[in-house]
Structure 1
């Protein structure tokens, strides 16, 4: 009996010791900050990033979805040394996280320059910016009201967002030159809700109808038809929503935001086809104005011309500035704030010389008539062999 009692005590002691033994805590996954500032590589250490929304092809291309041959082609394309798909998807995930925060914090009363710099700080942090390896693909577009595109605050800009403004937010992210280009529009009162609805519907039409062998001129007609089915009532007057006829979506290339193919917003005779492996920025712009934009205001966007000619530069300051542009931005768009950020000073004369010599292209703001309102929605769509992937799609739009 003593032995039995001793065994009970021993076993009881073991049990107590087991209770005292601490459990090893599972390694806690990092959580993104608010605002987002932790590099995405911390969350995706294997380099595999979330897939966007995959839509099947239509009509004569339905067979691609289940084709073993096309699946093999797609696998081969994703295993290329550049990891093309994963680069685009990483850029898209950066875009999603940055814009979702932007849609929460942007409010009337804020300076546009503060909005731009907050968005850009998030992009640089999440993509783990490293020059031409990854970073901002083009200056953050913050286009107000009748201004539809190519406006970002220059240094010293004091413009403040107002309650009645219609704000287009155009954000570009690149990873190893693979660009995610996506945009949305914000309003803070319901007057122009139908304008936004029209443009978003037109962009969704473009995405839904896009595909391999689709002719760009016909696709433009479908976008136009959708957008023109809407109208907006402002102060008792009804305005038709018009596509901006001299704007377009575009194919995207390596370090090249406009790679040669244009998807206009008005039906036309362009028989150029979308092709397997290409990717496009499908973007639409609608307006309550005349439906045509002109250059207006101070230039903020610039880019070294793709395949720019070799020309002799007589100004040493221009040579030095060109070297900075090539090293920091390559053929990606930049703005004056970015030149300030990399330490360039008193560069306007040299910059204008590069423009006059045909080395750098200026992109002034593009505006409809004053008093009108414009809206924009845009997604990047990858034409994979087995289906189209809307890489920039998110829960917000």
Structure 2
């Protein structure tokens, strides 16, 4: 079992709708990678999964460190994302999801398109969130950078970090996700902030960033049990607002739902769907 060390802080809980205007091409033949596991024993499959998670995690860690160092006042957000994703591919990883750079009251899930001229400025709180996959096994990591001198925001990153660390310590086989949520809520509120209630940590499955299990940021009446083999991304968000998000009317991240692919007659559309399936399967792009 492995966990993602990621924390995000949003001065006001406002979540961006998913989006990305231009999808970068990747040369990984995911169909071939999937076929590699056919006929293998369960132990062999587990070994491939573990090795893939480890490689993805190593690349993700290096990519985040590089992105943190490059995030400076005056840097164009689109260029930061393009450079980071280029590094990931050159290291042998696939893009688990478009890198998110969410600023100030935008809590999560925002990525820049080519027309976005936004630059990092003094006073901003910047959330970096990136994903790397190897053979469909995703490592998901994030951090928050505070360029603000506002005293009210002095401890917001600390609140997120401390609650994240406590949550990671609690992740063990048999633990209940609602108990972890209670601890996250308790720590964030001890710093006089509000947890963002409709964002959460989540399990990671092959070719799936958001799995079926969630680690909430507020107490829940019931939870889910952590089992051997589960993989989690631990995410905590502290807010100076009410801790409630709403979708923005922008978005350029997309994801293919294989359960809802309509019958397509147009040849160009068929080729597009084929390209998406081959290069991304059910990962966001």
TM-score tier (shorter): 0.7 to 0.9
Superposition deviation, residue 319 in structure 1: 2.2
Please tell me the root mean square deviation across aligned C-alpha atoms, in Å. 2.0
Superposition deviation, residue 313 in structure 1: 2.5
Partner of 1:3: none
Q: 2:90 aligns with which of 125, 129, 146?
A: 125
Distance 1:152 1:110 in 2: 15
Partner of 1:326: 277
Determine helix, strand or coil for the equivalent of 2:160. helix
Partner of 1:197: 158
Q: 1:270 aligns with which of 215, 218, 222?
A: 222
Distance 1:204 1:86 in 2: 24
**Is the Cα–Cα contact under 8 Å of residues 179 and 257 in structure 1 kept in the other structure?**
yes
Distance 2:261 2:112 in 1: 31
Distance 1:215 1:299 in 2: 34
Determine helix, strand or coil for the equivalent of 1:275. coil
Unaligned 5+ segments in structure 2 are: 4-40
Distance 1:250 1:81 in 2: 20
Q: Deviations over 1:301-351 (max 9, x none)?
A: 11112x4235212444332221111111111110xxxxxxxxxxxxxxxxx
Partner of 2:189: 228
Unaligned 5+ segments in structure 1 are: 1-51, 54-75, 129-133, 231-239, 335-397
Distance 2:81 2:262 in 1: 34
Superposition deviation, residue 96 in structure 1: 1.5
Superposition deviation, residue 82 in structure 1: 5.4
Larger Rg belongs to: 1
Q: Is 2:48 the counterpart of 1:83?
A: yes
**Is the Cα–Cα contact under 8 Å of residues 111 and 159 in structure 1 kept in the other structure?**
yes
Q: Deviations over 1:45-70 (max 9, x none)?
A: xxxxxxx89xxxxxxxxxxxxxxxxx
Partner of 2:172: 211
**Is the Cα–Cα contact under 8 Å of residues 303 and 331 in structure 1 kept in the other structure?**
yes
Determine helix, strand or coil for the equivalent of 2:197. coil
Superposition deviation, residue 275 in structure 1: 0.5
- The 5 Å alignment of 1:315-394 reads 315-334=266-285
**Is the Cα–Cα contact under 8 Å of residues 78 and 86 in structure 1 kept in the other structure?**
no
Greater relative CO, 1 or 2 (CA 8 Å, sep 6+): 2
Superposition deviation, residue 77 in structure 1: 7.4
Distance 1:86 1:314 in 2: 41
- The 5 Å alignment of 1:153-172 reads 153-172=112-131
Q: Is 2:211 the counterpart of 1:259?
A: yes
Q: 1:135 aligns with which of 79, 94, 103?
A: 94
Partner of 2:59: 94
Distance 2:103 2:43 in 1: 39
Superposition deviation, residue 216 in structure 1: 1.2
Provide the TM-score with structure 2 as the length reference.
0.81
**Is the Cα–Cα contact under 8 Å of residues 77 and 84 in structure 1 kept in the other structure?**
no
**Is the Cα–Cα contact under 8 Å of residues 61 and 141 in structure 2 kept in the other structure?**
no
- Over 3 Å counting, the alpha-carbon distance change for 1:80 and 1:316 in structure 2 is closer
Provide the TM-score with structure 1 as the length reference.
0.59
Q: 2:147 aligns with which of 173, 188, 205?
A: 188
- Structure 1 runs of 4+ aligned residues shifted over 2 Å read 76-82, 188-193, 313-320
